[in-house]
Amino acid sequence: MIKFHNPKEIGAPASRYSHGAEAGPGARWLQISGQVGVDPSGKIVQGIEAQTERAFRNVEAILKSAGMGFDDVVKINTFLLSRDHLAVLRSVRDRLFAKTAPASTLFMVAALAHPDWLVEIEAVAARQD
């Protein structure tokens, strides 16, 4: 089980995330490489909402392959090309992480590895077995 930390001595999180997330001793850890809006056929899906949803679904597929789920995510790092896409990102993330609020860092970046990618999401998960 992951314990989330949002101490009263600092400001509340700006959206649905926690300031800290802690996995107990003996946890299995999973590091997930940056996932983008590319479907299983290798096609880049179009638009920020579709790319964000696809990137999170790719994260979910990796979690499932390790016997984990979104509830096991400790930390998310998101790389976003445009501040204009922030509301869409938060909407998709908040819907998929309705039961948990992992630690999170958002980076506004000038470019990603492919010119058609709009968002990239990496994650760290832990599970007590």
The pTM (predicted TM-score) of the whole model is: 0.90
- List pLDDT tens digits, range 106-120: 999 999 999 999 999
Residue 63's pLDDT is: 96
CATH class of 2-8+27-128: alpha beta
Concatenate the DSSP letters of all residues of the chain into one string. -EEEE--TTSPPPSSS-BSEEEE-TTEEEEEEEEE-SB-TTSPBPPSHHHHHHHHHHHHHHHHHHTT--GGGEEEEEEEES-GGGHHHHHHHHHHHTTT---EEEEEE-S--SSTT--EEEEEEEEEE-
